Amino acid sequence: MTRVPLTLVHDSRGVGSALIIGLVAVVAITGLTLLGAGHALVRGQQVTAAADAAALAAADVLLGWAPGDPCDAAERVAAAHRVQLSGCAAEGLSTVVRVETGILGITVYRSARAGAPNALRERSAESCVWCA
């Protein structure tokens, strides 16, 4: 029977390299995950801002402060924000818009309302600030 020297049995050369490679892989995967989550949060806020801006543009046209069609104005603003207008409706003296876009392969929708104060309430001479 041949004896194997103990130095060859307990040789641990190269183990540190494997450990470092594993550690770098874990850090890279965690970093990419956090980067993707951060991008999704930022883009979600940008989509919300786009919906708000599109609703304000449509309300400006609806209330006569800008010329044109309310939904056309909302579509132009939405396109400038790199989102698609998926809904636009006038309700009384306010507008409701809905925009959508894809974030990391998921379709995200946001909606916003803009218009005159208390636009959905019954209008009367007391509540109308510009009717006097």
pTM beyond 0.75: no
What is the model's pLDDT at position 126?
53
Question: Which regions in the chain score pLDDT beneath 50?
Answer: 122-123, 125, 127-128, 130-132
What is the model's pLDDT at position 117?
78
Long-range contacts at 60-65 (CB < 8 A, ≥ 24 apart):
62/90, 62/93, 62/94, 62/95, 62/115, 63/93, 63/115, 63/116
What is the model's pLDDT at position 11?
66
What is the model's pLDDT at position 18?
86
What is the model's pLDDT at position 45?
94
